[in-house]
Amino acid sequence: MRGIVSIAGYVPYRRLQRSAVAQVFGSGGGKGTRSVASHDEDTTTMGVEAARLAVRSAPAAAPDAIWFATASPAYLDKTNATTIHAALRQPTHVSAFDFGGALRSGAGALRSSLAAAGTGTTLVVLSDLRDGLPTSADESAGGDGAAAVLVGDDGPGTPVIAEYLGGASVSDEFLDRWRTAGDRRSKVWEERFGETRYVPLGAEAWEAALKTVGVSADQVDQVAVTGMHGRAVKALARKLGVRDGVLADDLTTTVGQTGAAHPGLVLASMIERAEPGQVLAVVALADGADVLVFRTTDSLGAWSASHTIADQIAGAADLPYGKFLSWRGMVTPEPPRRPEPQRVSSTAAWRNEEWKFGFVGSKDRSSEAVHLPPSRISMKGGAVDDMEPVDRADTEATIATYTIDHLSYSASPPIVFAVLDFDGGGRFPLELTDVDPTTIEIGDKVAMTFRKLYTADGIHDYFWKAKPVRTGGSAAGGGAAGNSAAS
């Protein structure tokens, strides 16, 4: 039996009220909210956060490969999956590959891993950041987010919580949505044309998938239809022949359409609410249609999500529309009067990979003094080269003191710096993110999150920041949150 061992979604903390668009421009927007990646997030950092959540819920499962799919890669030529590999502190024999450039990459990577029985455990990470011109449908309907799916064969340490029953794919060459290299915005053909193609293709894939797995439409307990073409999604959903109440929330009202990540995100949301023995299906429309069908197992009852999508949606905070446009590069506010940072050194980053990407310090074996960053010489007793590594990426910390800096360079000033005392030892100053400077207090608890410090000469300087621990689990995704079977 092959299927899902663990799954998680990551939704950024900030939300844009769609009604704010019309308040500024007099048109555009709509109802509900969309998720917004912070100025220090990209598809890679969001992928890291989703992967951390998925791995945390299955601590005994070790991936043999990491596959990363996005339509908005932070790098071209360079493999982005290797950054996720480093942040998760995976050994060198774990392969890392990108599946990028197209919206269909997410569903394709997931289906390929599920069909590859006997190939070990694969961590499939889907992430996307959706853009659009101000007042456009893409701006308001889009969303930012990521999902991570740990796929493997059922066995000791890797109990499958959702068995992959099978699926179907149909493909067709037609120009509905496109974006050339270097463009920020997507272009879309006349809407009715896309609907006339996607609806029959989706129906064909749906019927083929049900026939393949030997399940009828009325036996499906939850199904989500997803795709960037909203009219086609709604039209196809009416043609599936499922029972009332079976159509799952596609998250477009609260999160928005997250492109390549969305099939994994809605699947994670369904599994978090599912009970053992239910049949779940995802239909994804992009350059054709892909259908994946699962049946949850008894192991689902013992599994719990590290930080549910529902909790992440409920714990969000609004972002002013002007700040959204600034973060997206649509407007250019006056920057701090300081020079921009220099590009990061590739050789220095490689030499310090464990610290820079894994947030791993050192601990003196004799005195147990924790050093952040790692040190060869102990601050207590002076021992030399008698250290062991100590991971602080999944450790909470307490704010000892902080400062609000309006002068240092930042894409979104001011910067909040804090001196943090880590649980179990270690003190280090870090930048805080996803935070309101007026609400910070000494003694607040924070958790680590993988972010981008800045970009210079096209090089992204990735490192760790801290964000507040909020109700419903830690900011980094800690805290137990059971699925519906347990709750």
Residue 481 pLDDT greater than 70, yes or no: no
- pLDDT at residue 100, rounded to an integer: 83
- pLDDT at residue 334, rounded to an integer: 83
Residue 132 pLDDT greater than 70, yes or no: yes
Residue 157 pLDDT greater than 90, yes or no: no
Residue 471 pLDDT greater than 70, yes or no: no
Residue 486 pLDDT greater than 60, yes or no: no
- pLDDT at residue 340, rounded to an integer: 77
- pLDDT at residue 431, rounded to an integer: 97
Residue 184 pLDDT greater than 60, yes or no: yes
Per-residue pLDDT reduced to its tens digit, 66-101: 999 999 999 999 999 999 999 999 999 999 999 988
- In DSSP terms, 425 is beta-bridged to none
Domain boundaries, the chain: 2-327, 346-480
- pLDDT at residue 330, rounded to an integer: 93
Per-residue pLDDT reduced to its tens digit, 348-364: 999 999 999 999 999 99
Task: Answer yes or no: are the C-beta atoms of 134 and 331 closer than 8 Å.
Answer: no
Confidence of residue 487 (pLDDT cuts 50, 70, 90): very low
Per-residue pLDDT reduced to its tens digit, 200-230: 999 999 999 999 999 999 999 999 999 999 9
Task: Answer yes or no: are the C-beta atoms of 290 and 167 closer than 8 Å.
Answer: yes
Q: What is the mean pLDDT of the chain?
A: 93
Task: Answer yes or no: are the C-beta atoms of 354 and 374 closer than 8 Å.
Answer: yes
Confidence of residue 477 (pLDDT cuts 50, 70, 90): very low
Pick the CATH number of 2-327 from 3.40.50.1440, 3.40.50.1950, 3.40.47.10, 3.40.50.880: 3.40.47.10
Confidence of residue 381 (pLDDT cuts 50, 70, 90): confident
Task: Answer yes or no: are the C-beta atoms of 440 and 432 closer than 8 Å.
Answer: yes
- pLDDT at residue 479, rounded to an integer: 36
Query: What is the CB neighbour count within 10 angstroms for residue 420?
Result: 26
Residue 483 pLDDT greater than 60, yes or no: no
Task: Answer yes or no: are the C-beta atoms of 35 and 144 closer than 8 Å.
Answer: yes
Mean pLDDT across the stretch 274-292?
98
pTM: 0.94
Please choose, from the candidates 254, 259, 268, the residue with its C-alpha nearest in 3D space to the C-alpha of residue 313: 254
3-state SS string over the chain? CEEEEEEEEECCCEEEECHHHHHHHCCCCCCCEEEECCCCCCHHHHHHHHHHHHHHCCCCCCCCEEEEEECCCCCCCCCCHHHHHHHCCCCCCCEEEEEECCCCHHHHHHHHHHHCCCCCCEEEEEEEECCCCCCCHHHHHECEEEEEEEEEECECCECCCEEEEEEEEEECCCCCEECCCCCCCCEECCHHHHHHHHHHHHHHHHHHHHHHHCCCHHHCCEEEEEECCHHHHHHHHCCCCCCCCCECCCCCCCCCECHHHHHHHHHHHHHHHCCCCCEEEEEEECCEEEEEEEEECHHHHHCEECCCHHHHHHCCEECCHHHHHHHCCCCCCCCCCCCCCCCCCHHHHHHCHHHHHHCEEEEECCCCCEECCCCCECCCCCCECCEEEEECCCCCEEEEEEEEECCCCCCCCCEEEEEEEECCCCEEEEEECCCCHHHCCCCCEEEEEEEEEEEECCEEEEEEEEEECECCECCCCCCCEECCCCC
% of the chain at pLDDT higher than 90: 88
- pLDDT at residue 333, rounded to an integer: 87
Cα–Cα distance measured from residue 365 to residue 123, given in angstroms and rounded to the nearest whole number: 34
Confidence of residue 485 (pLDDT cuts 50, 70, 90): very low
Residue 373 pLDDT greater than 80, yes or no: yes
Pick the CATH number of 346-480 from 2.20.130.10, 3.90.340.10, 2.40.50.840, 3.40.50.80: 2.40.50.840
- pLDDT at residue 118, rounded to an integer: 86
- pLDDT at residue 410, rounded to an integer: 86
Cα–Cα distance measured from residue 388 to residue 386, given in angstroms and rounded to the nearest whole number: 7
Q: Long-range contacts: 454-461, Cβ < 8 Å, 24+?
A: 454/340, 454/341, 454/409, 454/411, 456/340, 456/341, 456/342, 456/343, 456/344, 457/343, 458/343, 459/343, 459/344, 459/346, 460/42, 460/44, 460/74, 460/75, 461/341, 461/343, 461/344
Residue 1 pLDDT greater than 60, yes or no: yes
Domains 2-327 and 346-480 share a fold: no
Confidence of residue 382 (pLDDT cuts 50, 70, 90): confident
